[in-house]
Amino acid sequence: MSTLKAVRGTRDLLPPETELWNFVEETARRVFARYNFGEIRTPIFEDTGLFARGVGEETDIVSKEMYTWEDRARAQSEKSQSLTLRPENTAGVVRAYIEHKLGETGLLQKLYYIGPQFRRERPQKGRYRQFYQIGAEVIGPPSAGSESPLRDAEVLEMLATLLDELGIQGWKLVINSVGSSSDRPRYIAALREALRDKAPLMCVDCQRRAETNPLRVLDCKVPEDQPIIETLPKIADYLDEDSKAHFAAVCAALDACGVRYDVDPRLVRGLDYYTRTTFEFTHGGLGAQNALLGGGRYDGLSEALGGPKAPGIGFAMGEDRLILTLQAQAAQQSAPADAYLAPLGEAQNAAALGLARELRRAGLRIELGDGGFRLKKSFEIGNKLARKIILLGEDELKSGILTVKDFASGEQVKVAWAELATALRSR
């Protein structure tokens, strides 16, 4: 009898890793509470029509990736129902907003969720068929200020705070506007026309998306397609004055509160419900698929689901990818430095600081010693903290030739100042 294992695309989370998951979720709850968000818990499966109408029938999620089954009737009086494991949670939150008449309070609803989502896609690093998201939505009637660009900026500032408090280093915020519901059809028509001759030169996915969902072409990560994508029309050229003013106000609010960002005219969100502000927080340590989280405004989603006018903005953070980033940072921080720089005498301290700056700017991890240390102490400290030690004395400053010793092999060599960075990268 064969041994049973977890289904492909799923996995068990075990201690001590679960301690890190708990830390992330507890930090998120703490930050969200400070912004007056409350938790919502929706079912993990919904009527399939919710995602077809909300997310969009031509999206990759609905057309290829959902886990859907027919829930057969158990009595003649019952009708069978098509059910789907939730592939995302915004549509479910908006369904709950409508069903429970939360808009009748006249107030903004600020809701967050933490839980599993399900998509049948090819498993890879940081991407699973059962994956976990932390997300939040701000939704309500226009009279409550739900259309205000200030809401967009507040959500982005909250996310910057959350990533900082989680200890994520080097995150990057990228924003754009995909326009209003009247802007997008004009842009999509221009994009589809531009792709008529260019799509056949692109990857298979882009050829299909050019027909079904042209905006998704801009999301392509295939390197060979990027020069073609750069020639396509930009949505900024198709925004009306209201959309331009809304986006400018979001940027001004971010500037005022000190949240750094880049505007990327190619950034889109592939789901049908997005309007106006769209955004991603990315991290270089995740490779080509570098998004930690993404989101945007969805001003017409409530009406598309049969509810009242209720503009909103939200995001979803891939918890699996976030954990990978934190683990990679911890591993990097625990690894030894590339070199310990030991000035031989206090007179060399200033020059040592300048050299350390030069090497760090070259991407190397450098621990800087002090000229007041005895040589023996420098070697003892360096052996604990770094792979190699660089000796910088008066003779080295005059000649431009430095002494570098590898602690593991014991090899000691002379290296020209200009070649030092290259020598330190060699193992």
Question: What are the percentages of helix, strand and coil residues in the chain, rounded to 5?
Answer: 45, 20, 35
The mean-pLDDT minimum among 201-205, 238-242, 285-289 falls in 285-289
Over residues 29-52, mean pLDDT: 95
CA 243 → CA 177, 184, 240, 246, 262, distances in Å?
A: 8, 11, 5, 5, 18
pLDDT tens profile 45-102: 999 989 888 676 656 677 678 889 998 866 666 788 899 999 999 999 999 999 999 9
The mean-pLDDT minimum among 66-75, 113-122, 350-359 falls in 66-75
pLDDT at 221 > cutoff 90: no
Return d(Cα 34, Cα 202) in angstroms, integer.
Answer: 46
Host H or E run for residue 376 = helix 375-385
Return d(Cα 231, Cα 246) in angstroms, integer.
Answer: 26
Over residues 277-300, mean pLDDT: 83
pLDDT at 427 > cutoff 60: no
DSSP state of 294: E
CB 71 within 8 A of CB 299: no
**Mean per-residue pLDDT over the chain, rounded:** 89
- Please report the DSSP string for 172-229 in residue order: EEEEEE---TTHHHHHHHHHHHHHHHHGGGS-HHHHHHHHH-GGGGGG---GGGHHHH
Confidence band of 290 (pLDDT split at 50, 70, 90): confident
Return d(Cα 113, Cα 352) in angstroms, integer.
Answer: 50
Domain boundaries, the chain: 17-73+80-168+274-330, 336-425
Return d(Cα 136, Cα 299) in angstroms, integer.
Answer: 15
pLDDT tens profile 380-397: 999 988 989 999 998 888
DSSP state of 6: P
In 275-354 the beta strands, taken as DSSP E runs, fall at 275-282, 291-297, 312-318, 339-343
Whether the CA torsion 359, 361, 363, 369 is positive or negative: it is positive
The mean-pLDDT minimum among 100-109, 118-127, 384-393 falls in 118-127
Strand partners, 297: 275, 313
CB 313 within 8 A of CB 154: no
Place of tokens 């505007």: 263
Return d(Cα 309, Cα 139) in angstroms, integer.
Answer: 10
Sheet with 81-85: list strands edge to edge: 45-47, 81-85, 68-71
Place of tokens 């939704």: 139
CB 257 within 8 A of CB 152: no
pTM equals 0.75
Q: How much is the pLDDT for 151?
A: 96
Over residues 399-415, mean pLDDT: 90
The answer to whether domain 336-425 has CATH 3.40.50.800 is: yes
Return the top range by mean pLDDT from 58-62, 79-83, 110-114, 223-227.
110-114
Q: How much is the pLDDT for 56?
A: 67
Q: How much is the pLDDT for 58?
A: 59
CA 177 → CA 237, 260, 264, 267, distances in Å?
A: 11, 17, 9, 8
Return d(Cα 344, Cα 386) in angstroms, integer.
Answer: 18
Q: Domain 17-73+80-168+274-330: give its CATH architecture.
A: 2-Layer Sandwich (3.30)
Residue percentage of the chain with pLDDT more than 90: 52
pLDDT at 288 > cutoff 70: no
Helix 149-166 × helix 17-34 angle, to 10°: 140
